[in-house]
A and B are shown apart, each in its own frame.
Chain A
Amino acid sequence: MAKLTVLSEEETSIEILVTDANRAFVNSLRRTMIADVPKFAIDQMRIELGVFKDEATGEMYESNYALSDEQLAHRFAMLPIPTFHNDFFFQDECPDCKDMVEDQRGCPSCQIIYTISAAGEEGGRYIMASELNVIGDRRLDIPEAYGSIPLTKLYEGQVLHAYFYAIMGRGRDHSKYSPVSGVTFQARQHGIMNVKTRSKHLFDLNLNITAKDFDKDGKLTDIDKVKLLKNDLNHVGDGTDLQADFNDAITLQDVEGEFIFKFQTDGSMSARTCFVQACKELAGRFSVLSDDFAEAL
């Protein structure tokens, strides 16, 4: 059974040490996060077209702007929509909508509706993601950190009135549904001092790592320090003047069965939620497989 140790964690990024695992297992987690963790994203957009009169000022506006409707729809679709897995359903699994025809699906349990009503001004005005209003629960507003995403720019006489319909989906259908970016893992490494005398060439450069950081067996195991050592070794590695003198006096060695896994989320859910959800997805898939095996054997 794999063991997990959180090395560092922020709201939207996490670094985890996975032990007692193999590369295939960690890669399955990675791929599940990219393609299978459910997430909300805007799937449909309805733009009100025509000429509008502002009753208060008597000004006329037209739904006419530099970006095409398709470009605009794509920009809105890329926004991170807060996702609460326990409160919402896929449309084809929604208890209220699953039996309806596809076009008529959409209820507060499986769809989020946003609106925007923005007018331009002389000299142009950026329309930001924070101007989207959610119909219903305020916690579904675009997260504050992403409110300054420019979506379009409107000039005098231009207006954008639109409705947006967000539904739950998976990254394998469209990347807008993928909640993660930069999902990577690499084998944990130890620094090994092979030749003490030649290692001095590195320590004499007064970089980050010193001889004292290695234990009495000549090993460096601390994860943060190994990262620094990796950078330091660039100063004595291939293509440097010291390459011949140093001659691999210190090397990095992969630790069997240990991997450092890290990723960022797009802000639609916390990194921890995403990881837990990926584990649930994987567990669900394997339980179906084991049931099938049990039935067949």
Chain B
Amino acid sequence: MNATLLTSAGLSSTQPVGLLWYLTAAAILFALGLTACMARRNAIGILIGLELILNAAILNFMAFWRFGQPSTHDPSMEGPMMGIFIIVLAACEAAVALAILLNLYFNFGSVEVDKANRMRL
């Protein structure tokens, strides 16, 4: 790894933590969220995993935004904007998901995803 990279990574004496660490954190979070999605039996558990993934994505956006600004006097607000929209959409999606989940609960009697392995006749 060359000095530039390290510098941008924030591993220099005068610089705080850099891009790569944020990205790494986001990656870990993403992996955790994926695990939750795949392995959880409860539908709400899957939703939790989904929220984790989404948050990892927002973190990614913010990290790239923060470490890609040309100057501070006229910042272009991609990072936070993306964050806002993602949060909004996450809210919508959570609402609808829960509505579906309630329907699931009332039809199959439980929230476990395995129980819904057949198309309803």
A and B from one complex: no
Q: Enumerate chain B interface residues (CB-CB to A < 8 A).
A: none
